[in-house]
C-alpha cells in the first residue's frame, strides 16, 4: 500500500481532489464507487468547485454508492444516499441515471444485492473511509475476504458513530454494503483517513498482520491501493523506511 501523507486537511483535500479529477478525465467512462461518512466531504467540496469552474466533469462517469444504512427513513439526512447527494451528486454534472444507489427498503434485499453486484462489474476507482475498528464500507471485523454485496449487522461501535450522521435521531443497526471481494476487484482503491481519531486504527492497519479481523488490512494486498492521510491521522504510523540512495 502506497502512503501519501499531507500535512494539513487543506493540503490533503487539494491533493486528493487534484488526483481524483485527473482520474475522471483520464478514462472515457470511469466507474467509481464512492464512500460517504465525514472524511470525503472536503474532497467532494473541491470536486464540486472544480466542476463549477469547468475544470472537471462527471458527465461520462458511472457512480455507485458504497453502502447504505437500513431500517431508517429514506429521507433521513444520515442515509448514505442523502449524504452523497448533498455533498456531491446533486451539485455536479453526473447524469441522474448513472448514480446507482442501494434500496435497503426493498422487500427482496437479496435481489437488490445481486443486481448491485452485477451492475458494479469491475470498478476503476473505489474511495473508502475507515472505521475506528478497521471496517471498510460496512464490512465489519470478520467480514470474509470473498464476500459480495450483502446485508450486514453493524457493530456497536459503528452504530454509535452512525447515529451522528442522523443528528442522534436514528441509530441504524444494519446496512447493505459492497462486499470485500467487490471492493478488492476494483482496479484502484484510495483509502481516505484524516484527523486524530483515525491515528490508532492507521497504526494497527500498517503494523498488524493482514487479517479479516481488520478488514482494511486486506487492502495491503491490493496492487494499486493508496492511503491518503493527513499528519493528524498519520501520527502513530511507524516511520517510513529510508529511500534507497
Residue 30 Cβ vs ligand GLP, minimum distance, rounded to whole Å: 20
Residue in 62, 67, 124, 230 annotated catalytic:
67
Using the minimum distance from each CB to ligand GLP, give the nearer residue, 39 or 101. 39
Beta bridge partners of 177: 67, 150
Sheet holding 62-65, edge to edge: 2-6, 225-230, 188-193, 125-128, 31-34, 62-65, 99-100
60 vs 103, beta carbon nearer ligand GLP: 103
Binding flags for ligand GLP, 132-151, as an x/- string (CB under 6 A)? -----xx-------------
Q: Distances in Å between the alpha carbon of 14 and those of 18, 163, 179?
A: 6, 29, 29
As measured in angstroms, the least distance from the Cβ of 70 to ligand GLP is 12
Residue 16's SS3 state is helix
Residue from 51, 88, 112, 162 touching ligand GLP (CB under 6 A): that is 162
124 binds ligand GLP (CB under 6 A): no
For 11, the grid coordinates are 493540503
Measured at CB, which residue is nearest to ligand GLP? 129
The catalytic residue among 68, 100, 133, 170 is 133
Active-site annotation holds for 133: yes
Q: Which residues between 39 and 78 bind ligand GLP (CB under 6 A)?
A: 39, 66-67
Closer CB to ligand GLP, 30 or 172, in the complex: 172
What is the nearest approach in angstroms of ligand GLP to the Cβ of residue 106?
A: 19
47 or 66, CB closer to ligand GLP? 66
> Residue 226 contacts by C-beta under 8 Å, 6 or more apart in sequence?
1, 2, 3, 4, 188, 189, 190, 191
Catalytic residue among 62, 81, 100, 135: 135
Residue among 83, 84, 102 nearest 166 (CA): 83
Instruction: Note the residue count of the chain.
Output: 245
Which of 129, 134, 172, 212 forms a contact with ligand GLP (CB under 6 A)?
129
Query: 86: closest CA among 24, 137, 9, 34?
Result: 34
Q: What is the smallest separation between the CB atom of 148 and ligand GLP, expressed in angstroms?
A: 17
Is 170 catalytic? The answer is: no
Compute how many other C-beta atoms are within 10 angstroms of the C-beta atom of residue 203.
15
CA distance 124 to 42: 22
| Distance between start and end Cα atoms, the chain | 21
> Among candidates 208, 200, 140, which has minimal Cα distance to 175?
140
In the annotation, is 124 catalytic? Answer: no
Residue 24 or 83 with smaller CB distance to ligand GLP: 83
Binding site for ligand GLP (CB under 6 A): 35-39, 66-67, 129, 131, 137-138, 158, 161-162
Amino acid at each position: 500500500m502506497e502512503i501519501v501523507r499531507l500535512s494539513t486537511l487543506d493540503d490533503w483535500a487539494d491533493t486528493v481532489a487534484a488526483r481524483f479529477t485527473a482520474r475522471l478525465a483520464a478514462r472515457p467512462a470511469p466507474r467509481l464507487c464512492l464512500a460517504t461518512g465525514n472524511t470525503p466531504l472536503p474532497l467532494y467540496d473541491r470536486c464540486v468547485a472544480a466542476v463549477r469552474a469547468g475544470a472537471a466533469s462527471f458527465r461520462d462517469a458511472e457512480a455507485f454508492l458504497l453502502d447504505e444504512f437500513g431500517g431508517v427513513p429514506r429521507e433521513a439526512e444520515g442515509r448514505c444516499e442523502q449524504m452523497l447527494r448533498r455533498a456531491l451528486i446533486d451539485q455536479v454534472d453526473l447524469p441522474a441515471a448513472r448514480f446507482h444507489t442501494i434500496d435497503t427498503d426493498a422487500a427482496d434485499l437479496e435481489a437488490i444485492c445481486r443486481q448491485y453486484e452485477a451492475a458494479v462489474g469491475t470498478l476503476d476507482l473505489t474511495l473508502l473511509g475507515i472505521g475506528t475498528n478497521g471496517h471498510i464500507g460496512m464490512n465489519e471485523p470478520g467480514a470474509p475476504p470473498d464476500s459480495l454485496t450483502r446485508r450486514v449487522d453493524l457493530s456497536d461501535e459503528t452504530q454509535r458513530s452512525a447515529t451522528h450522521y442522523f443528528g442522534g435521531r436514528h441509530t441504524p443497526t444494519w446496512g447493505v454494503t459492497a462486499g470485500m471481494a467487490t471492493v478488492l476487484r476494483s482496479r484502484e482503491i484510495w483509502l481516505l483517513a484524516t484527523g486524530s481519531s483515525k491515528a490508532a486504527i492507521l497504526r494497527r492497519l500498517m503494523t498488524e498482520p493482514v487479517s479479516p479481523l481488520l478488514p482494511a488490512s486486506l487492502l495491503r494486498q491490493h496492487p494499486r491501493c493508496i492511503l491518503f492521510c493527513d499528519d493528524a491521522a498519520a501520527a502513530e504510523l511507524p516511520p517510513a523506511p529510508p529511500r534507497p540512495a
